[in-house]
Structure 1
Amino acid sequence: MSTVLASARRIVVKVGSSLVTNEGRGVDAEAIGNWSRQLAALARDGREVVMVSSGAIAEGMKRLGWTTRPKELNELQAAAAVGQMGLAQMYETRLSEQGLRSAQVLLTHADLADRERYLNARSTLLTLLALGVVPVINENDTVVTDEIKFGDNDTLGALVANLIEADALVILTDQRGLYSADPRKDPEARFIDVATAGDPALEQMAGGAGSSIGRGGMITKVLAAKRAAGSGASTVIAWGREPDVLLRLARGEAIGSALVAGTPKFAARKQWMIDHLQLRGAVVVDAGAALKLREDGKSLLPIGVVEVQGEFARGDVIAVLAPGGEVIARGLANYSSAEARLISRHASSQIESLLGYAHEPEMIHRTNLVLV
């Protein structure tokens, strides 16, 4: 893993709320200054760096005089709007002191769920990197609704890593890394130096809620590493106040927990399908169709569909469920949910007579389908 990070040319760094705001006391100028200094050194070394930063809500709470995180969405959005001003200003100031230009980028899930907006976001970020600008990314908490939130910035960091096809994701947190159990409760807890991202055992080890300041816990970091691995990015989870942590990681020093990408890299379009956090619908297939998808890599034909769930349009990403309800694949639907209900359990040759037209012979073509 040290070799992977040492050779990484494009790196996404995610920092948590408790680090950015010094446990909620307000934007930590010294900490952001330290990260900015390290980012500048990486940039001089020819690396491309992106910062995904939490802290807007925590900074807004401090500016508004709130001591506990509100539960109402409108109050959270108000805090984010107030705090984002200070957060962006601090990053701009500190990065500028290091001779770096910066750009604020606010994203919502809708920006990445729509294919055109996904490509636009990717193009913008890659252009900023080509110009030597450091993008500072946060979720657009001011306008996002609870139904389409990323959930935490660990997930957002992984999605950004996939979006720009980063080589590595570094998650800086207030913990040393990942343990086999909660070290505060289990004296036998073992520190995880290196593991394979996506290993189910890691999800069992991680657990617990986040701090009172942020929303994520170690489980969100493990799941983020699993998601980032889909595009070939390995992840390091490390203590954010470790001296020169980014520079030492880039030199190949073993710090924190390294979760190595052990899965083959998905094509960009298939990675986009995997990264959908919410789906509009699903189709349930029979055992024969499930077998053909899993073992033979075949397209999904209407005759193999036994049930249509939800409401979706042609071109939407939908889930494919096995008879028992297990999600086995995702793909781009060639037909809407209404059309799918009419043609399910029928041969492809009957589509035109059933609908009066035929877009494609498949419900989902194999080139637009990815197993999960």
Structure 2
Amino acid sequence: MATPSQQQIRSRIAQARTIVVKVGSSSLTSATGHLDVQRLTKLTGALAQMSMLGARVVLVSSGAIAAGFGPLGFPARPTDVATQQAAASVGQGLLMAHYESAFGRFGIRVGQILITAQDTIRATQYRNAQRTLERLLDLSVVPIVNENDALASNEIRFGDNDRLSALVANIVRADALVLLTDVDGLYTAPPSHPGATRISYVPDVLGVLDDIEVAGSGSHVGTGGMVTKLEAVHVATASGIPAVLTCAENAGPAMLGDPVGTVFAPVKRRGSSRRLWIAFAASPRGDLIVDEGAAKAIQTGRASLLAAGVVGVDGEFSAGDPVWISNEQGAHLAKGLAGFDSEEIPPMLGANSSRLRKEFGNEYAHPLVHRDDLVLV
């Protein structure tokens, strides 16, 4: 298949029926860390324009902690988790109040969705989030999604909403993802470096990563950086969703397909939402280690993982949890959903279906990971 041109990808974004827009804390706050209502209102105007043109818009918005620590009397973003969570609890309400007011000027209703990483691990929570988002969009409501910072800990986070926005794009089967940050695109090196130039088009995000230098968060109010944004782009483009990265001031032109920021082409056709969830939304809880024969069978993409080919199990997980499938050298081959709890598996290792049925009963004579629940790395 021929590589699409930059113009073709930007046209796809301009014609998107469902679009997910992510805005970071640094794009919504002033230099002192307070919520900048003027910035928020300007962004809302661009999103409202797209909505009134017929697009279904989902906004993934950071800013709860940044909006909350000022009113609580802190001169800068707190560094301890408990205070960050308290600031988020205060700030989320302030953030939503301003969004409701700003969108309300255009007669557009908004709905709040708070998500933690745990909400995307189990298939039931994932489907619940999917149903709610789809219904809000059907009702012409703009869902405003944020990580539930009041409950999320540093150990279990998405990464400044960048990865979350790509997963939300996956959930709603979006036609485009727009990442808004405090720089106007991807550069060959940090923009402050001499000679750094903006990259306007990336046909394959994996191919460009070796040729550029990226930095972590440069903001005192945000937690992400260019690395997390490129990871989000990878998730989106591998899901068949084109993406554009630019500054918040360029939100309108970016959604209309104008040549601003950096646009990223999809690297493959969109797969089923279930397989995309397994591949990107699910964080593995353990590891099933397979022998050489099982490794070869798994890599064909057509075989389930049977107990007969498994030589070890690592970690603690429950049936339905995501797990890695790795070879004996430790290389990850696939990700899948476990068919059994981790403590049930050791006695089953190496046994064929007949032996499992005889020794443990019919309910144990099925794969440790079914092929429909398995995605190759």
TM superposition score category, shorter chain reference: over 0.9
Distance verdict in 2 for CA 1:121–1:264, change over 3 Å: same
1:264–1:328 CA distance, 2 compared to 1 (3 A)? farther
> What amino acid is the match of 1:25?
G
Preserved CA contact (<8 Å) 2:51 2:57: yes
Amino acid at match of 1:346: A
CA contact (8 A) 1:339 1:355 kept: no
- CA displacement at 1:24 relative to structure 2: 4.5
Residues 349 and 361, structure 1, Cα contact 8 Å, conserved in 2: no
Give the Å deviation of 1:230. Answer: 3.4
| Whole-Å separation in 1 of the counterparts to 2:208 and 2:199 | 11
Distance in 2, Cα, partners of 1:268 & 1:159:
10
> Is the partner of 1:172 in helix, strand or coil?
strand
Pairing 1:68-79 to 2, within 5 Å after superposition: 68-79=76-87
Measure how far apart 1:301 and its partner are: 1.6
Q: Deviations over 1:68-127 (max 9, x none)?
A: 322221111011011112111110110001211111111111222121111111111111
**CA separation in 1, counterparts of 2:200 and 2:359?**
58
Find out whether 1:191 has 2:198 as its counterpart: yes
Pairing 1:48-127 to 2, within 5 Å after superposition: 48-127=56-135
Partner residue of 1:202 out of 196, 209, 214: 209
* CA apart distance, 1:315: 2.0
Percent of aligned pairs sharing the same letter: 39
Q: Distance in 1 between matches of 2:189 and 2:375?
A: 33
Q: 1:40 aligns with which of 48, 54, 58?
A: 48
The residue aligned with 1:299 is 304
- Provide structure 2 residue ranges, at least 5 long, that are not aligned to the other structure: 1-8
SS at match of 2:155: helix
TM-score, with normalisation over the residues of structure 2?
A: 0.92
Q: 1:36 corresponds to which letter in structure 2?
A: T
Residue pair 2:183, 2:247 contacting (<8 A) in 1 also: yes
Distance (whole Å) between structure 2 residues aligned to residue 369 and residue 222 of structure 1: 25
- Equivalent positions of 1:161-180 (< 5 A) are 161-180=169-188
1:16 partnered with 2:24: yes
User: Offset of 1:163 from its aligned partner?
Assistant: 1.0
Q: 1:110-149 maps to which residues of 2 (within 5 A)? A: 110-149=118-157
Q: What does residue range 243-262 of structure 1 map to in structure 2 within 5 Å?
A: 245-246=251-252, 248-262=253-267
Which residue, out of 362, 372, 376, partners 1:371?
376
Could you list the structure 1 runs, at least 4 aligned residues long, displaced by more than 4 angstroms after superposition. Answer: none
Name the amino acid aligned to 1:281. Answer: G
Hey, what's the Cα distance between the residues in 2 that align with 1:249 and 1:21? 21
Tell whether the 8 Å contact from 1:206 to 1:218 is kept in structure 2 after alignment: no
Matched, 1:313 2:318: yes
- Per-residue CA deviation, residues 209-261 of structure 1 (Å, 9 max, x unaligned), is 2112100000100000111223321111001123xx32x23332121011111
SS of the residue corresponding to residue 42 of structure 2 reads helix
Partner of 2:351: 346
Distance 1:234 1:366 in 2: 28
Are the aligned partners of 1:16 and 1:172 in contact in 2 as well (CA < 8 Å)?
yes
Bigger mean CA offset, 307-316 vs 356-365: 356-365
The 8 Å contact of residues 68 and 88 in structure 2, kept in 1 or not, is answered as yes
User: 1:42: Cα distance to partner?
Assistant: 0.9
TM-score of the two chains, using structure 1 as the length reference? 0.94
- Distance in 2 of aligned mates of 1:5 and 1:215: 27
Change (3 A) 1:102 1:232: same
Name stretches of at least 5 consecutive residues in structure 1 with no aligned partner: none
Instruction: Return the offset for 1:194.
Output: 1.2
State how far apart, in whole Å, the 1-side matches of 2:336 and 2:370 are: 8
Q: Which residue type is aligned with residue 191 of structure 1?
A: R
Give the Cα separation in 2 of the matches to 1:307 and 1:276: 25
Distance 1:197 1:156 in 2: 21
Q: State whether residues 203 and 222 of structure 1, in contact with CA within 8 Å, keep that contact through their aligned partners in structure 2.
A: no
